[in-house]
Amino acid sequence: MPEQAIDHIDFETLNKKALSKPLVSHIYTADPSAHVFNNKIYIYPSHDVDAGEAFDDLGSHFAMEDYHVISMDSIDSVAVDNGLALHVNDVPWAEKQMWAPDAAHKNGKYYLFFPAKGYDGIFRIGVAVSDSPIGPFKPQPEAIKGSFSIDPAVLEENDGSYYMYFGGIWGGQLQRWRTGTFNAEHPENPTAHLPKDNEPALTAKVAKMTDDLLEFSETPKDVVILDEKGNPILAGDNERRFFEGPWVHKYNGKYYFSYSTGDTHLICYAIGDNPYGPFTYKGKILNPVVGWTSHHSICEVNGKWYLFYHDSSLSKGVTHLRSIKVAEITYNDDGTINTLNPYKD
Ligand code: FUB
């Protein structure tokens, strides 16, 4: 992941023009997954730290070790840091890099889903359980069987079933799983094993969860994004292809699959008719923010819809020191979403 050129940015002016302010500023936070549980907003972010890891194209500088849950009584109220919810040292199978998490609530229990690298250098996805939405969470001894890559996001369906979306290319290792087993060749090259530009892009994955939310109940399936002609988006279509950070929400009976395009720094979305897709590309939700990564969630609060996202404005552009933010999104009559500019002109 190349460092963004930041020398030319006047951060004082930029922060005055920002669509929204960091929700918390005493710690760095990123990758916000927001939910309303029991009429309160809970945000499950990554907890960014400067661990002194050198910057590289595999994201080694994202060396996060733990999670804090942020809560808000309402969308305008103060965001509260509820302290340590889970630390990598308490997860038997995980060594490092606690990346973007998500959470779910079922039958009075709260489930924190998180990616981390195991001692073999392979990303997998784990689950930790608590009686409280703010933790502390008790991790399962093993990662979810059959899980791989990063960025879990869980959709609760009306019938009480849950689906996990996940995946990320480059440092997220999705491209290493193309044959079903991990390809460890060319470990330093983030783009080795990717499809050619004129081939269909790699897709996020989706799997229905077991009733106890601790395992997949099926082999993960491809989340296909189609273009306006019904063809799969191609790997060379960097402004529209899936890179990382999947999220699904439902609006007016349709399923909205949204995601980051990574090296083109956009949050885009596609619409489908069921949790598995396919989804047809519709447009951008968020233009590029300061910082290389862009990652989001979408959550309904009291009848309005909000984009939770992050940028690196507080750290003056340091890619791995980000801050979570929130802004309202609006829909048009045809179900399309109006694109947000993170900094006003
Ligand atoms: O926070 C680490 C990684 O950066 C996340 O897993 C990606 O989605 C990107 O935001």
Structural domain boundaries, residue 34: 3-329
- The token pair that represents 212 in the structure block: 């106890």
Residues with CB under 6 A from ligand 1: 30-31, 46, 62, 99-100, 150-151, 168, 244-245, 293, 295
Per-residue model confidence as pLDDT tens digits over 239-297 = 999 999 999 999 999 999 999 999 999 999 999 999 999 999 999 999 999 999 999 99
Determine which residue's CA is closest to atom 1 belonging to ligand 1.
Answer: 99
Give distance in angstroms: CA of 19 to centre of ligand 1: 21
Per-residue model confidence as pLDDT tens digits over 27-58 = 999 999 999 999 999 999 999 999 998 888 89
Per-residue model confidence as pLDDT tens digits over 81-102 = 999 999 999 999 999 999 999 9
Given pLDDT bands bounded at 50, 70 and 90, which one contains residue 7? low
Which atom of ligand 1 lies closest to the CA of 320? 1
The verdict on whether 31 is a catalytic residue reads yes
Residue 82 to residue 71: CA distance in whole angstroms: 7
Domain membership of residue 345 (yes or no) is no
For residue 55, what are the contacts with CB-CB under 8 A and spacing of at least 6? Answer: 1, 3, 61, 319, 320
Domain membership of residue 338 (yes or no) is no
Given pLDDT bands bounded at 50, 70 and 90, which one contains residue 4? very low
Give distance in angstroms: CA of 245 to centre of ligand 1: 7
DSSP state of 143: P
Per-residue model confidence as pLDDT tens digits over 318-342 = 999 999 999 999 999 999 999 999 9
With beta carbons less than 8 A apart as the criterion, state whether 307 and 299 touch: no
- The CA–CA distances, whole Å, from 225 to 179, 204, 276, 296, 332 equal 20, 9, 11, 18, 21
DSSP state of 176: G
The alpha carbon of 182 is separated from its chain's Cα centroid by a whole number of angstroms, namely: 22
Determine which residue's CA is closest to atom 2 belonging to ligand 1.
Answer: 99
With beta carbons less than 8 A apart as the criterion, state whether 321 and 48 touch: yes
β-pairing verdict for 225-226 and 279-286:
parallel
The verdict on whether 197 is a catalytic residue reads no
Q: Residue 284: beta bridge partners?
A: 268
Number of domains making up the chain: 1
Under the phi-then-psi rule, with left for phi > 0, alpha for psi from -120 to 50, and beta for the rest, what region is 193?
A: left
Catalytic annotation, pick one of 102, 151, 244, 311: 244
For residue 306, what are the contacts with CB-CB under 8 A and spacing of at least 6? Answer: 34, 75, 298, 299, 300, 326, 327, 328, 329
Domain membership of residue 334 (yes or no) is no
Which atom of ligand 1 lies closest to the CA of 295? 10
Domain membership of residue 337 (yes or no) is no
Amino acid of residue 311: D
Give distance in angstroms: CA of 173 to centre of ligand 1: 12
Domain membership of residue 340 (yes or no) is no
Mean pLDDT across 202-228: 98
CA angle 316, 337, 17 (to 5 degrees): 30
Domain membership of residue 277 (yes or no) is yes
Element (H, E) at 17: helix 11-17
With beta carbons less than 8 A apart as the criterion, state whether 95 and 119 touch: yes
For residue 275, what are the contacts with CB-CB under 8 A and spacing of at least 6? Answer: 155, 157, 163, 206, 248, 255
Domain membership of residue 310 (yes or no) is yes
The alpha carbon of 4 is separated from its chain's Cα centroid by a whole number of angstroms, namely: 20
Amino acid of residue 164: M
Determine which residue's CA is closest to atom 8 belonging to ligand 1.
Answer: 245
Give distance in angstroms: CA of 181 to centre of ligand 1: 23
Residue 263 to residue 260: CA distance in whole angstroms: 9
What per-residue confidence (pLDDT) applies to 130? 98
Give distance in angstroms: CA of 295 to centre of ligand 1: 7
Query: For residue 83, which of 152, 137, 128 has the smallest C-alpha distance?
Result: 137
CATH number of the domain encompassing residue 144: 2.115.10.20
Domain membership of residue 155 (yes or no) is yes
Catalytic annotation, pick one of 3, 31, 227, 263: 31
